[in-house]
């Protein structure tokens, strides 16, 4: 198999990866972005972004579409919705194979692989994925028109998606493991004042019930340890994200949460390998911070190539 060589390869096409791609391509470096999911990453799931400086208000999808087109116009190649089947970060010439089919090499690599939705770990979760368990209200909300659903989680995503689901569903029960929400005040207020939404706190789903589709769940109260059954037509899960570091963990230094460790210039423990965005160890995960990481990683990579 012939390998095509690039100056730089960016893994991931969320806000961090696209920003890195824009900076690298503008510096006239032959750049390839390889992405396993959707271009825009988690950004595309955000209905309205109102705090991205310079943009009055836009959907995450619109912002990511502009970022993608900017990267392409500056000359970035993009391979998206592919599977990374081999990865070599430690050799001087870095290598990525996709779909057991195409091989690309590069002098530097930027890891911007982001995160993926955390699963609940309840019994029968895999069995009912797409058959009553969903991770995306925008995609699947209308299939639950007039039905009773559960939303799991207590962060912004959970409460905002619960409110957005009320367009279709008859009722929503929000189940959250703690006795208070992590969401911002405005999101809590919106959810609490919606008459279709009720709440069960300090509880966890331990099992999904049903034949072909989800028909109910078993809930455990975290305080008393007691189990109870709740009938439902569907469950939407929003309990945060875990970093996409499965393919990196053998060679890249990670913290105990499996996030990539780096210095302030986004340099990892391997020469020529930089990191950016939600996959790295940091406190705040915003589009703005991902863009900042991507910029720094690209500038550090350019400096590395020149040295």
Partner 1 sequence: MLGTNLKHIKSEEEFNEVIKNNENVMICCGRMGPMCLPVYDVMENLEEKYENVKFYDMDFDIPEAHVLRNHQLARGFMGLPFTFYFKNGKAVKATSSIQNKKQIKSIIEEYLV
Q: Which of 4, 51, 91, 139 binds partner 1 (CB under 8 A)?
A: 139
* 70 is a site residue for partner 1 (CB under 8 A): no
* 163 is a site residue for partner 1 (CB under 8 A): no
Closest by CA position to 98, among listed 111, 82, 113, 112: 82
Here's the x/- map for partner 1, 253-282, by CB under 8 A: it reads as ------------------------------
* 83 is a site residue for partner 1 (CB under 8 A): yes
Determine how β-strand 102-111 pairs with β-strand 94-98. antiparallel
Radius of gyration from C-alpha coordinates of the chain: 21
Only one of the segments 19-27, 81-89, 162-170, 298-306 lies at the binding site for partner 1 (rule: CB under 8 A); that segment is 81-89
Cβ 68 to partner 1, closest distance in Å?
8
Give how far the C-alpha of residue 181 lies from the chain's centroid of Cα atoms, to the nearest Å: 21
Secondary structure (3-state) at 288: helix
Tell me if 116 sits within 8 A of 15, measured CB to CB: no
Q: How far apart are CA 62 and CA 68, in angstroms?
A: 10
* 81 is a site residue for partner 1 (CB under 8 A): yes
Of 65 and 194, CB closest to partner 1: 65
**Which positions are catalytic?**
136, 139-140
Cβ 154 to partner 1, closest distance in Å?
22
Cβ 135 to partner 1, closest distance in Å?
9
Q: Which of 45, 63, 158, 279 binds partner 1 (CB under 8 A)?
A: 45
Only one of the segments 94-102, 153-161, 166-174, 250-258 lies at the binding site for partner 1 (rule: CB under 8 A); that segment is 94-102
Secondary structure (3-state) at 201: coil
256-267: b (≥16 Cβ within 10 Å) or e:
eeebbebeeebb
User: Which secondary-structure segment (H or E) carries 161?
Assistant: helix 156-165
* 63 is a site residue for partner 1 (CB under 8 A): no
Token pair 């799991």 is at which residue? Answer: 152
Q: How far apart are CA 228 and CA 205, in angstroms?
A: 10
Residues that bind partner 1 (CB under 8 A): 35, 37-40, 44-45, 61-62, 65, 69, 78-83, 98-99, 101, 130, 136, 138-140, 143
């Amino acid at each position: 198999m012939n390998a095509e060589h690039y100056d730089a390869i960016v893994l991931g096409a969320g806000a961090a990866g696209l920003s890195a791609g824009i900076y690298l391509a503008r510096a006239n470096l032959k750049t390839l972005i390889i992405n396993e999911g959707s271009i825009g990453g988690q950004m595309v799931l955000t209905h309205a972004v109102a705090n991205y400086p310079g943009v009055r208000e836009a959907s995450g999808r619109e912002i990511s579409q502009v970022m993608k087109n900017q990267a392409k116009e500056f000359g970035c190649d993009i391979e998206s919705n592919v599977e990374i089947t081999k990865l070599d970060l430690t050799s001087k010439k870095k290598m990525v194979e996709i779909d057991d089919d195409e091989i690309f090499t590069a002098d530097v690599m930027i890891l911007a692989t982001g995160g993926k939705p955390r699963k609940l770990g309840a019994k029968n979760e895999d069995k009912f994925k797409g058959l009553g368990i969903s991770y995306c209200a925008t995609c699947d909300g209308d299939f639950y028109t007039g039905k009773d659903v559960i939303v799991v989680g207590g962060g912004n995503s959970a409460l905002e998606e619960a409110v957005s689901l009320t367009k279709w569903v008859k009722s929503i029960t929000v189940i959250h493991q703690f006795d208070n929400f992590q969401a911002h005040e405005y999101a809590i207020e919106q959810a609490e004042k919606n008459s279709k939404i009720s709440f069960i706190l300090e509880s966890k789903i331990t099992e999904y019930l049903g034949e072909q589709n989800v028909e109910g769940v078993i809930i455990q109260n975290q305080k008393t340890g007691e189990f109870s059954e709740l009938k439902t037509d569907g469950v939407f899960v929003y309990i945060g994200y875990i970093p996409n570091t499965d393919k990196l963990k053998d060679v890249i230094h990670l913290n105990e949460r499996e996030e990539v460790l780096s210095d302030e210039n986004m340099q990892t423990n391997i020469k020529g390998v930089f990191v950016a965005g939600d996959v790295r160890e940091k406190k705040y995960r915003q589009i703005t911070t991902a863009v900042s990481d991507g910029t720094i990683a690209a500038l550090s990579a350019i400096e590395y190539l020149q040295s």
